[in-house]
Amino acid sequence: ATEQDLAGRHVVISAGGTREPLDPVRYLGNRSSGKQGYALARTAVARGARVTLVAGNTELPDPAGVDVIPVGTAHRLREEMVKAAADADAVVMAAAVADFRPAVYASGKIKKVEGQDPEPIALVRNPDILAELSAERAHPGQLVVGFAAETDDVLANGRAKLARKGCDLLVVNEVGEHKAFGSAENEAVILAADGTETPVPYGPKETLADTVWDLVAPRLAETRR
Ligand code: C5P
């Protein structure tokens, strides 16, 4: 799909993992590589979109022609997504947002004390950015896409999550050894709020990204440009 079906559209994508600091030198993180979000950014540019990429931790180079906004924490990712979404036609949450963050941030490095057990780490919940972006859309026609990684009851859990989050499309990945996290390949089912299911066979993350845009573009066609 090299047609310019996203020409004149602004799409905002989050990618990579967030890092939640414990102290100046330590954080809680996850294994997200950012590859799927970056593939979404590259394919959207190829289809004519203006692309804003809010990037958590990743080793990937900035894609050409993309406005990249680096962030560390879920809190910062939320701030930048809400700001960029204000003028977006579509918003895609491909980032692996930490569900929890340490309840306290120690401004000095946490030290080990001889003969003493370490303090347990208390966690608090992070805001659900996808649910918030879905509930508080910048304009009625704005499209919101989420991702979900599931290990069992993939479809049932995916359907329930789509409803709970309130987004228009949910890309449901089955997490496996050569799929999803860190891998260049992915296999997924894309669930739509209108009831349709689009299976995407095992293959490059670019193919999955293009299938997402194949579903997004016609849904945007009904809204003003
Ligand atoms: O609830 P779960 O983490 O499985 O949902 C995954 C989806 O929700 C992804 O699109 C992810 O970017 C988004 N998410 C979020 N804020 C969170 C946790 C997940 O936006 N705190």
10-105+123-220 belongs to which homologous superfamily?
Answer: CoaB-like (3.40.50.10300)
Ligand 1 neighbour 126 (Cβ under 6 A): yes
Which percentage of the chain shows pLDDT scores above 70? 95
Neighbouring-strand partners of residue 2: none
Structure tokens at 123: 């966690």
Reply yes or no on whether 173 is catalytic.
no
Q: How many angstroms separate the CA atoms of 133 and 54, rounded? A: 14
C-alpha of residue 89 to centroid of ligand 1, in Å? 20
Residue 203: half-sphere exposure toward Cβ, Cα within 13 Å: 10
Domain positions in the chain: 10-105+123-220
The whole-number pLDDT of residue 151 equals: 86
Q: How many angstroms separate the CA atoms of 212 and 53, rounded? A: 16
Q: Whose CA is nearest to atom 19 of ligand 1?
A: 97
> Is it the case that residue 81 has pLDDT exceeding 60?
yes
The whole-number pLDDT of residue 60 equals: 97
Instruction: Measure the CA dihedral 215/176/162/167, to 10°.
Output: -50
Which pTM does this prediction carry?
0.95
Question: Do residues 16 and 92 make contact, with C-beta atoms less than 8 angstroms apart?
Answer: no
Order the strands of the 90-93 sheet from edge to edge: 67-70, 50-55, 10-15, 90-93, 143-150, 169-174, 185-192, 197-204
> Is it the case that residue 91 has pLDDT exceeding 90?
yes
Read off φ and ψ for residue 141, nearest 5 degrees: -85, 0
pLDDT in tens, 100-156: 999 999 999 999 999 999 999 999 999 999 999 999 999 999 999 999 998 889 999
Question: Do residues 36 and 14 make contact, with C-beta atoms less than 8 angstroms apart?
Answer: no
For residue 81, count other CB atoms closer than 10 A to its CB.
26
> Is it the case that residue 224 has pLDDT exceeding 70?
no
C-alpha of residue 130 to centroid of ligand 1, in Å? 6
Ligand 1 neighbour 99 (Cβ under 6 A): yes
The whole-number pLDDT of residue 39 equals: 97
pLDDT in tens, 46-67: 999 999 999 999 999 999 999 9
The whole-number pLDDT of residue 175 equals: 81
Mean pLDDT, the chain, whole residue set: 94
